[in-house]
Amino acid sequence: METGQFLQYLVTGVTMGSIYALVGLGFTIIFSVTGIINFAQGEFVMLGGMLSFILFDSFGLPMGLTVVLSIAAAALLGILLYLLGIRSARKASPVSLIVITIGASIFVRGVAAEIWTKDPVRPPYFTGSESLSWAGAYIQPQVLWIIGTALVAMIVLHVFFSYTTLGKALRACAISRQAAGLVGIDARAMALIAFGLAAGLGAIGGVVMAPHTTVSYESGVMLGLKGFVAAAIGGFKSHTTAFFGGLLVGIIEALTVAINWGPFRSEYADAVALIALLVILVIRSRSLSAGERAS
């Protein structure tokens, strides 16, 4: 394979990986602050993309505005999801929380399919679709938007968690909810913010990805799954590792398609990420510190 082709695959890998990274960040934020696996994480990405299209296409709003509105709407929905869930949290069952997020994710999918459309939609490119040429590979400007946005998001998050009071409060919750409560941090408010933040992040990913890959009512499932793998690589604790984990998943996926030999074919590209998940979980369960183990 020539350099240009290989680079092309690599670019695709990093592009998709950036989205997985954003989804993975969302999982990590929610899990570290609340201990909940938010099954609907992938749907926020889908919503971001679909809403930005709907607002543009049906309501004629300019793209800049639709982007902002979509992200805000998704964040609000994330908060709503949390609010629906706390009622249940008072009674028994940690199971009920997961099931609620599962229910929410399929509900959102179904509604998107019924109310909007079952077909994939493509919002307009941010800055046009003229490909740039780079060492034999063609890079569309939207790709730069995607990768750039993910990087910026990562940096902003890092600054947020390290230097702002709110960010530090969220990190405190992630370390110990009890201790955080003792110093006056309201765990429920933090959880609310975590959900909103994660949903917003997902939507950002969706908004910036949709013009490039299109988005449809069922985009959320695979994105959620792959983002989950990214978060798993980071142990659901480390944002930076989740970020790079996402990139890794994207690259491995692209390489699987590139190799196109034996079991490494495009039809199995999705499966690669999932098998990676199982492998990661096995590795993690073997190398745990005693504090992390279920017993």
Partner 1 sequence: MSSPILETKGLTRTFGGLTAVDGVDLSVESGRITAVIGPNGAGKTTLFNLIAGVYMPTSGDILFEGKTLGKSPPHRRAALGIARTFQNVLLFDNMTVLENVMSGQHPRSRYGFLEAALRLPKAHREEERIVLASRRFLNLVGLGMYADRNPASLPLGQQKLLTIARALATEPRLLLLDEPGAGLNALEKQGLSELIRRIQEMGITVILVEHDMDLVMGIAEWVVVLDSGQKIAEGTASQIQKDKKVIAAYLGDEEGAG
Partner 2 sequence: MRFGVRALYQNKWAILAFAAMLALLIVVPLSPVLDKYTMLLTFIAINAMVTLGLCLLMGYTGQVSLGQTAFYGIGAYISAILSKTYGVNPWLAMLIAAAAAGLFAYLIGFPIFRLRGNYLAMATLGLVLVVYTLFRELGSLTGGPDGMSGIPHLSIGGLHFNTPATRYFLVWSFCLAALVLSQNIIRSRTGRALRAIHGSEAAAQSVGIDLSRYKVKIFVLSAVYASIAGSLFVHTLRFVNPQPFGFLASVMIVTMAVVGGLASIWGALFGTAVVRILSNEVLLRFGSLDIIVYGLILMVVMIFVPQGLFVGLRDTFQRWRLKRARQEAPT
If binding is defined by CB under 8 A, does position 65 make contact with partner 1? no
What b/e readout covers 59-69, taking b as 16+ CB neighbours within 10 angstroms? eebebeebbeb
Which of partner 1, partner 2, none is residue 121 near (CB under 5 to 8 Å by kind)?
A: none
- In the bound state with partner 1, the residue whose beta carbon lies nearer, of 133 and 295, is 295
Is the distance from CB of 48 to CB of 207 less than 8 angstroms? yes
Q: What gap in Å lies between CA 37 and CA 282, rounded to an integer?
A: 18
If binding is defined by CB under 8 A, does position 181 make contact with partner 2? no
If binding is defined by CB under 8 A, does position 84 make contact with partner 2? yes
Within residues 274-293, the interface with partner 1 by CB under 8 A covers 290-291, 293
Q: What gap in Å lies between CA 243 and CA 21, rounded to an integer?
A: 4
Give the three-class secondary structure for 109. helix
Within residues 151-180, the interface with partner 2 by CB under 8 A covers none
If binding is defined by CB under 8 A, does position 105 make contact with partner 2? yes
Which of partner 2, partner 1, none is residue 179 near (CB under 5 to 8 Å by kind)?
A: partner 1
CA-nearest of 157, 133, 122, 153 to 11 is 133
Is the distance from CB of 196 to CB of 33 less than 8 angstroms? no
Is the distance from CB of 32 to CB of 99 less than 8 angstroms? no
Which of partner 1, partner 2, none is residue 110 near (CB under 5 to 8 Å by kind)?
A: partner 2
Using CB under 8 A as the criterion, what x/- string covers residues 265-294 for binding partner 2? Answer: --xx-xx-xxx-xx--xx-xxx-x---xxx
Q: What gap in Å lies between CA 3 and CA 279, rounded to an integer?
A: 31
DSSP string, 72-88: HHHHHHHHHHHHHHHHH
Q: Which residue has the tokens 């869930």?
A: 85
Which of partner 2, partner 1, none is residue 100 near (CB under 5 to 8 Å by kind)?
A: partner 2
Which of partner 2, partner 1, none is residue 225 near (CB under 5 to 8 Å by kind)?
A: partner 2
| Residue from 61, 103, 124, 214 in contact with partner 2 (CB under 8 A) | 103
- Shortest CB 40 distance to partner 2, Å: 10
- Shortest CB 134 distance to partner 2, Å: 33
Query: Would you tell me the crossing angle of helices 94-111 and 219-233 to the nearest 10 degrees?
Result: 140
CA-nearest of 99, 100, 38 to 74 is 38
Summarize as ranges the residues that interact with partner 2 (CB under 8 A). Answer: 31, 35-37, 39, 84-85, 87-88, 91-100, 102-111, 113-114, 221-222, 225, 228, 232, 236, 267-268, 270-271, 273-275, 277-278, 281-282, 284-286, 288, 292-295
Binding site for partner 1 (CB under 8 A): 175-176, 179, 290-291, 293, 295
